[in-house]
Amino acid sequence: MNLFKRNISLQIFLILILFFSACNSNNNQEPKQKKIKVRDYSEIKQLKKLRVVTNLNSTDYFIYRGQPMGFQLELMQFFAKELNVDLEIIAQNNLTRCFNMLENDSCDIIAIGLTITKNRNEKFNFTVPYGLTNQVLVQRKPDNWPELSRKKIESKLIRNQLDLAKKTIYVQQNSAFVTRLKSLSQEIGDTIYIKQKNIETEELIKKVAKKEINYTICDEYIGLVNKTYYPQLDVATKISFPQKLAWAVNKQSDTLLNILNNWLTDFKKTRKFKAIYNKYFKNPKSVNIFNSDYYLQETGQISPYDNYFKKYAKELHWDWKLIASLAYQESHFNNNARSWAGAFGIMQLMPITAERFNVDTNSSPAENIRAGIKYLKYLDKQLSDEITDTTERKKFIIASYNSGLGHVLDARRLAEKFDKNPNIWINNVDFYMAKKSNSKFYLDPVVRYGYCRGSETVNYVTEIFSRYDHYKNIYANKN
């Protein structure tokens, strides 16, 4: 009996050991992370959209006098045109978030001047370089530098990398500058105090200029541009060998990388590339942009008429920035603009429309803007019963502002006749709007208003909403 009990106890003991071993084994296994499926070229083409993240600064991407501009923006616009897809620009000045977005398939390309480091190369694919740069120290000249000789100024500046010992240098978090400073600290055999900040490099340069910090590091081409804005800065001390600048794509986006490399290799040889580069990095007039009242990132102003857009847009319940984008499309904010057809003012009202809303060529910009918004409100009323989606209806209203309500209604009737949705603009009504210059369509029995250069209207709507997206982008990221 005792032997039987011992056997039972032993069996129970062995079962418990096996049970706890299995539990420990399962606990020690790390859960497998589900691999994210990343878009490659075929998906980009299928969805007709290229998503690009870039920095918001005075060279990569910004708004000046209502116009989206920037070196990276223009290059990506050319590449998107080459692919025949729409371009979505995402402004992001946090470098860690940029790389996270690429890993998580929230963007397709990081279009920033990235230096190619060993650690980055292990995680991401980089394009062929589009340029070379050195890392440079950003420091201030003496306060009375305009009165000093060149020799005296030089004596006050750091020119030897050994003199960086015990200095505190602020750099963008997780940037290549951190890696370089750590290596330099080893090379000089002394401590360099590195302070990482979660802000874009140009903001750190501004802090040096304003005496909030003493030193930062940047790429030489960025330093030279910012030196034109802040002549009190010096960027002549190099702290690195020449380094390649490139864009990054996900490791899974092999086809996109190949196509991007082939395009970039060819495009770098063109006059267009040289012109774009010179426009942003060798243009002495860039200081006028930076100091302008309408450099949106700094001032928050799109145009001289923002207050009127804000005031009267409330009558329509629209975002004033969309009104501003429409006004830019119409007149580039020039109240003296006149079209060949007789349209005038900020909102380019036709004489018959202007008369209806009690304005003429002698009316003030404010009156012209208010009349334009009243006309938009009238168009909204004509379409609100059938197009109930307010976001979608805005596209039809803006199309009507350009070509007239009758032509837009014609395009809706054509869409309905050919089994498209008459209440959706993109890939539905816009297709037939563009066809209204084709006799096969403008002579169709459902068409009442005849011929129209409808492709111009389609482009008009696209450009206004694209610019509106840029305005929202800048405002969402404005410091």
Question: Cα torsion for 82, 84, 89, 95, to the nearest 10°?
Answer: -50
Catalytic residue flag (residue 330): yes
User: What pTM was estimated for this model as a whole?
Assistant: 0.87
Q: How many angstroms separate the first and last alpha carbons of the chain?
A: 84
Token pair in block for residue 474: 């800048």
Q: Which of 228, 258, 289 is the last residue of a domain?
A: 289
For residue 101, pLDDT over 60 is answered with yes
Same domain as 223, residue 182: yes
Rounded alpha-carbon distances, angstroms, from residue 52 to 91, 207, 278 = 9, 28, 22
Q: What is the pLDDT of residue 6?
A: 52
Express each pLDDT in 203-216 by its tens digit. 999 999 999 999 99
Same domain as 458, residue 390: yes
- Domain of residue 436, residue span: 306-477
Closest CA to 386 of 371, 400, 366, 370: 400
pLDDT above 90 coverage of the chain, percent: 87
For residue 444, pLDDT over 70 is answered with yes
Least confident of 27-41, 88-102, 295-309, 382-396: 27-41
User: Is the CB of residue 233 less than 8 Å from the CB of residue 209?
Assistant: yes
Domain membership of residue 29 (yes or no) is: no
Same domain as 194, residue 80: no
Domain membership of residue 406 (yes or no) is: yes
| 161, HSE (Cβ side, Cα atoms, 13 Å) | 18
Domain membership of residue 233 (yes or no) is: yes
Domain membership of residue 182 (yes or no) is: yes
Express each pLDDT in 387-443 by its tens digit. 999 999 999 999 999 999 999 999 999 999 999 999 999 999 999 999 999 999 999
Domain membership of residue 35 (yes or no) is: no
Same domain as 370, residue 332: yes
Per the structure, how many domains does the chain have?
3
| Mean pLDDT estimate for the chain | 92
Same domain as 462, residue 399: yes
For residue 73, pLDDT over 70 is answered with yes
Question: φ, ψ for residue 239 (rounded to 5)?
Answer: -125, 10
Express each pLDDT in 1-57 by its tens digit. 454 445 555 555 544 555 555 445 445 454 455 667 889 999 999 999 999 999 999
Same domain as 252, residue 232: no
Rounded alpha-carbon distances, angstroms, from residue 102 to 90, 108, 223, 248 = 12, 6, 27, 8
For residue 107, pLDDT over 90 is answered with yes
Domain membership of residue 174 (yes or no) is: yes
Same domain as 178, residue 97: no
Domain of 317, CATH number, reads: 1.10.530.10
Q: What is the pLDDT of residue 286?
A: 87
Domain membership of residue 7 (yes or no) is: no
Domain of 49, CATH number, reads: 3.40.190.10
Q: What is the pLDDT of residue 130?
A: 95
Q: What is the pLDDT of residue 371?
A: 97
Same domain as 183, residue 109: no
Question: φ, ψ for residue 445 (rounded to 5)?
Answer: -55, -25
Residue 29 or residue 353, greater confidence: 353
Same domain as 204, residue 171: yes
Q: Which of 224, 241, 258 is the last residue of a domain?
A: 241
Same domain as 222, residue 170: yes
Same domain as 453, residue 321: yes
Express each pLDDT in 169-218 by its tens digit. 999 999 999 999 999 999 999 999 999 999 999 999 999 999 999 999 99
Residue of 330, 355, 392, 456 marked active site:
330
Q: What is the pLDDT of residue 170?
A: 98
Q: What is the mean pLDDT of residues 292-305?
A: 93
Domain membership of residue 15 (yes or no) is: no
Express each pLDDT in 458-467 by its tens digit. 999 999 999 9
Express each pLDDT in 224-257 by its tens digit. 999 999 999 999 999 999 999 999 999 999 999 9
- The whole-angstrom separation of Cα 338 and Cα 324 is 18
Same domain as 388, residue 316: yes
